Chain A
């Protein structure tokens, strides 16, 4: 362990650097936007120091930029942690939270809400008010439960079978989604496609409470499970020999990941690449040990999503690009870069 520590940057420094970067981007995210408020006024409005500021500046900073910034941090952090945990659990660098069927189930749930319920209740005032997020969460939870159930027998849970069941379930959900797409009218179709691209525009003080409660619980639980998760990296049999209740561990990890991803999907739609790419980025600095990997991944995930959202809000203002497009556009080339760097080692 001592030897490892000397070879790698200390965790404190890593966390400090990424937290500092995150803080910087946070300041930028609050100060910058389509409306030119200026750093000083923006922070004046944030802290309510400047009573001279017009109402719209206060609304923009306090009700638009701040909640969005905070939501990006929570969602990005959760997605990255869940991705890191999934990659550890499946011992597969390509695993992302989608692999246990959460994303597929969530999209199907959202599509049912948009196409079938939207048609009954009318499209107004509905998309951000809970029905779609709720259905997305239920869909994600049901899918995970199904995948877990299919992968579990008297001998315990087989991650390989879970992985394959996840693929099959995703295909089934895809078929359902395609069918709903076909029967959807133009408006629902458009809503559906926008939803699948993800956005943080729905951020409000109400849903931030949920986001941060989830982030806090997830971070604590994963932190406690970090050491057993390390043991799992060596193999299930080895972990069992080390006295770890592997079955219980797997169940916990899957449950928390599904809940975490389900909540992010409910709050921000589908945001790809954070869960897949960020753990890889973090691992470059921390190595595979989860007690080091998880906090750094969380901070980097928050950083990447926040940065992406800033770009999404500002480049084509007053329009907004769905943030999922930006995360993919930034994340994927970075991922390729890592792959090329590692090519020698992998081959």
Chain B
């Protein structure tokens, strides 16, 4: 406001100051009338966690520590859809005050959560902010679960999950094929080139864990648009689609109607188009992704045609 004052003759300055003073009085009236709120600090020593990442949310749910969660981010939306938990927005665009208003004790997410200003502010307000390792490896997975288990006092459940996951991965890795199947995940939208999952995507990890190869991995390290010609050239044995897409297209016939060139792939010719739940491939590798890898491997090792829609876990 300084520049304004410097613009004006002295009389205006007085006017300006008088206006400010007058208004502060007006503002004070509702302030005085208002009862004191929001000062309910301390109280219970409960752990109140805001989960800013679907892998954290998934793990907390698996540990049976749902009651410690007071909010989740957008990437966890599908996981907490059946609960009343507030959604605090995208994990890279968290609002400091929005989060603080929920009075959390912990903010847990991946190292992608941010922005930094928000994290710093939360820390200065006494919130324990932790970025848990979000990688796909068993080590990262165990580190993640250990941290959450200690925090929520669920060590027993954690050990159980850890041994189960280790066994699952070991079992998955036992499968070796001389000629691994070529599996591709694609997003199909009307009138646009198809988008396929490359290296570095959760889908790619699922495909590899299932004992198959992703022919796109050599060409792209994320989700990229690709021409249908290139897909035909890669000759995928299996095509994965998100459940939603699969339903929208109305099955394999709809897929071919949308992208006629796909009829030239072994996947379509052998009717090996599989719909997978999106929640298993979004927001990083988690328990749902592991379950998906198991089911996929089961379908791949099956002789003959693959069921069009994989049954959901549980």
A residues engaging B (CB < 8 A)?
11-12, 15-16, 19-20, 22-24, 27, 31, 33-41, 43, 52-57, 59-60, 63-65, 73, 122-129, 182, 185-187, 190-191, 194, 199, 201-204, 212, 215-216, 218-220, 223, 295, 298-299, 313, 317-320
Contact = CB atoms under 8 A, between A and B. Distances in A.
Contact of B41 (A24, A54, A203): A54
B102 to A, nearest CB: 6
Contact of A318 (B4, B26, B35, B102): B102
B138 interface: no
Contacts of B111: 122, 124
Interface of B: 1-4, 6-8, 11-12, 15-16, 19-20, 22-24, 26-27, 30-32, 34-39, 41-42, 71, 86-90, 92-93, 95-103, 111-112, 114-118, 121, 124-126, 131, 200, 221-223, 225
B6 A220 contact: yes
B95 A39 contact: no
B39 A219 contact: no
B114 A125 contact: yes
Contacts of A295: 3-4, 7-8
Contact of B95 (A123, A212, A313): A313
A202 B41 contact: no
22 contacts: A12-B11, A12-B15, A16-B12, A34-B101, A38-B35, A43-B31, A54-B39, A59-B121, A63-B124, A64-B96, A185-B222, A185-B223, A187-B112, A191-B92, A194-B90, A194-B93, A220-B3, A220-B6, A223-B7, A317-B98, A318-B71, A318-B98
B4 A63 contact: no
A34 B88 CA distance: 11
A204 B4 CA distance: 23
Which 10 interchain pairs have the tightest Cβ spacing? A318-B98, A219-B3, A54-B41, A35-B101, A39-B31, A185-B222, A320-B95, A59-B125, A34-B101, A319-B89
B15 A16 contact: yes
A57 B39 contact: yes
Q: Is the interface of A mostly helix, strand, loop or mixed?
A: helix
Contacts of A318: 71, 86, 88-89, 95, 97-99, 101-102
Nearest to B98: A318
Contacts of B121: 59, 63-64
A11 B15 CA distance: 12
A56 B125 contact: yes
Contact of A24 (B7, B27, B100, B125): B27
A65 B117 contact: no
A128 B98 contact: no
Contacts of B6: 219-220
A137 B222 CA distance: 29
Contacts of B42: 54
A34 B95 contact: yes
Contact of A60 (B15, B100, B221): B100
Contact of B103 (A15, A27, A56): A56
A320 B125 contact: no
A55 B35 CA distance: 19
Contacts of A19: 1, 4, 16, 19-20
A36 B102 CA distance: 10
Contacts of B125: 55-56, 59-60
A57 B20 contact: no
A128 B95 contact: no
Nearest to A53: B39
A41 B37 CA distance: 8
Contacts of B126: 55-56
Nearest to A63: B121
Contacts of B97: 33-35, 60, 64-65, 313, 317-318
A219 B100 contact: no
A43 B24 CA distance: 11
A122 to B, nearest CB: 8
Contacts of B19: 16, 19-20, 23
A190 B90 contact: yes
B16 A15 contact: yes
Contact of A38 (B11, B12, B34, B86): B34
